[in-house]
Amino acid sequence: GAVVSQHPSRVICKSGTSVKIECRSLDFQATTMFWYRQFPKQSLMLMATSNEGSKATYEQGVEKDKFLINHASLTLSTLTVTSAHPEDSSFYICSARDLEGASSYEQYFGPGTRLTVT
Amino acid sequence: GEDVEQSLFLSVREGDSSVINCTYTDSSSTYLYWYKQEPGAGLQLLTYIFSNMDMKQDQRLTVLLNKKDKHLSLRIADTQTGDSAIYFCAEILFSGGYNKLIFGAGTRLAVHP
């Protein structure tokens, strides 16, 4: 149980275009999902916390107009990178918290999406 | 402040024990976690420990927590080549109305024959 999927796993896009990344909790409901960004050989940086039915909470320094987050249901959150630039190239990972899990502090991570902007 | 620190690299021989260390700063953290990341993949939760515990054992994994020194360690017994990965420790931080995970930079474990 507690599986989180991401789609796509890899995407290459041209500079100036927008890219949408989906994060799904497959076998549990997640009120809260988190979006992280990971640079090569570095740790995960929390970008935003996404709550179903409400606006996302962005971390300091993350542009909310550039990284649009929509959490339309208890099993789906999307991250849209708008007007992508090469510096947006990164590994994006989502996680979800299981409402019914043994610990409300457990987060389950998706496999990540590798974004390359050319 | 929010700061979780780990050594960046550890090399061990197959069959030996590996010990990965971590220090954290938020004394109010209720849970502390160890995650494993294999190349090109997401994070896999290995284990976690509640802050009122000193030790937690789960098969080959032993977690030790020293709250006084804010020190967390992960011991992997009988390390195998399949254990080669990056290991992240993380603490829970309550900020802005949410519980957030704060990660260390990760320790790259290399297992050699």
A2-32 per-position pLDDT tens digit: 789 999 999 999 999 999 999 999 988 888 8
Would you place residue B9 in the very low, low, confident or very high pLDDT band (cuts 50, 70, 90)?
very high
Q: Chain A partners of B2 at a C-beta cutoff of 8 Å?
A: none
In tens, the pLDDT along B49-106 reads 998 899 999 999 999 999 999 999 999 999 999 999 999 999 887 776 667 888 999 9
Q: Chain B partners of A103 at a C-beta cutoff of 8 Å?
A: 31, 48
Q: In the predicted model, what is the mean pLDDT of chain A? A: 90
B1: pLDDT strictly greater than 50? no
Q: For residue A42, what is the nearest residue in chain B, using CA coordinates?
A: B105
* B2 or B19, greater pLDDT: B19
* B85 or A100, greater pLDDT: B85
CB-based contacts of B59, cutoff 8 Å, min separation 6:
none
- Residue among B6, B33, B56, B101 with most chain A CBs within 10 A, to mutate: B101
A75: pLDDT strictly greater than 70? yes
Would you give the distance in Å from CA A118 to the centre of its chain? 21
Which pLDDT does position A87 carry in this prediction?
A: 95
Q: Chain A partners of B92 at a C-beta cutoff of 8 Å?
A: 105
Query: Buried b / exposed e across B63-93, counting CB within 10 Å, b at 16+?
Result: bbbeeeebebbbbbeebeeebbbbbbbbbbb
Of the candidates A43, A105, A112, the beta carbon closest to that of B92 is on A105
